[in-house]
Structure formats: structure tokens, C-alpha cells
Amino acid sequence: MSDPCKILVFASGNGSNFQALIDAVSSGAIPNSKIIRLIVNKSKAYATTRADNAGIPWEYFNLISHGFRQKGETDPAKLQESREKYDAALAEKVLKGDYKPDLVILAGWMYVFGKAFLDPLEAEGIKIINLHPALPGKYDGTNAIGRAFEDFKAGKLEDNKTGIMVHYVIAQVDRGAPILVKEIECREGEELEQLEQRIHSHEHELIVEAAAKVAGEILDKKNKTQ
């Protein structure tokens, strides 16, 4: 058997998608792969407990707590500079030593990476994928489900459908090439919380399927070059 696809996961909160990935690697649903590390940017992220339970090393690395930005900073130039320095430091952390991954998965990571992070990983051929609760080209960024729901209520949602996608990460937020997409129809009389629950119920399945697809492609490419 060839060397496994080494996966690094980024998460900010509960880590339910991270748990789905742990379980899928364990069961073989994501074949010949290993989660080598978790990185979180929230000190109380429950994802770290999931990592401990699975024996996966993790690290907390935060924009403010680790000295890249002063709390309460409002100067636009300093805000941008702090993000660039944080991104560059994080990229260096990802690429060093034994922890260098083949695949990076953003699983509920509440931070937008810039080119100072993305470019060094791209130069090393490392793929980055992300799950976003909207269809390609729709509702980029935050509160995607809420904005789709408001458009549905106003009669402006195309085909009355929203959805979920897993996509490659590029500098333009949520605009990277889609890997897998699932459409979800909005229902008359449904509250926002019910729509959110239905969408979240499909996220684990989609992120696992997409991770398996991309990991398989990475391993195929590795095997051809050996």
C-alpha cells in the first residue's frame, strides 16, 4: 500500500464536520488517509476535545492572542498587515517538518485566508478545500443560509433552491472550483432554523465524499510519480 494521504484540518468551533472526517478515515470511507493534525483559532473550540479523543495532535493559533494584532485595532492598514503576517506565519507552520500535509480541509474554519497563506501552499502543490452552505456563485461569505432564506420568502430565490458545496479554496471568497454540490429545496412554511438543520444534516456526508474524492486523486497522482 502506498503512503497515506496526509490531511490537516482547520476548525473554529464544535468540530462536527471534523468528527465526520475522523470517523470516515477510521472506517475507510476516506481510503488510505490519515489526519495528521488539527489547527484551531478559538481557544475553547470543542474540536480540540474530539482531536484528543482520536489521538490527533492539535494546536491553537490566534490572530490576536499570538500577537499579530492588537485587540480593538481599527486602522485599516494595520488590520491588513496583521492578517498578512498571521497568514504567512500559519503557512510556514503548515509547511514545516513532518506535519506537511497533502490536503488541507477547512471544516467550520471562521477566518478568510489571503494570498500570504494560499500562495505558499499552492507553490507546494497542496490542495485546500472548504464546505460552504450555498450553491456555486451564490451567497458568498457569511450568513449564506439566512440570505438565501430571506430571498426565498421574498420570492427571489432561483428555483426555490439553495444548497451546499465543497470547493477548492482561492483568494476570492467561496469562488473556487466546486468539487461536489448538493441542491436543497426551500419549503413553504419552514422557519430558518428548520432549513439550517436540513442543510447541516447533509454537510457531513458531502465533506466526507469530497475529501475521499480529492484524497483519491492526490494518491493516484503520487503513485504515478513514484
Catalytically annotated residues: 132
Determine phi and psi for 114, rounding to 5 degrees: -105, -175
d(CA 38, CA 58): 4
HEC letters along the chain: CCCCEEEEEEECCCCHHHHHHHHHHHHCCCCCEEEEEEEECCCCCCHHHHHHHHCCCEEECCCCCCCCCCCCCCCHHHHHHHHHHHHHHHHHHHHCHHHCCCEEEECCCCCCCCHHHHHHHHHCCCEEEEEECCCCCCCCCCCHHHHHHHHHHCCCCHHHEEEEEEEECCCCCCCCCEEEEEEEECCCCCCHHHHHHHHHHHHHHHHHHHHHHHHHHHHHHHHHHC
Q: Which three cell numbers stand for residue 178?
A: 466546486
Q: Residue 22: which of 48, 59, 60 has the closest Cα?
A: 48
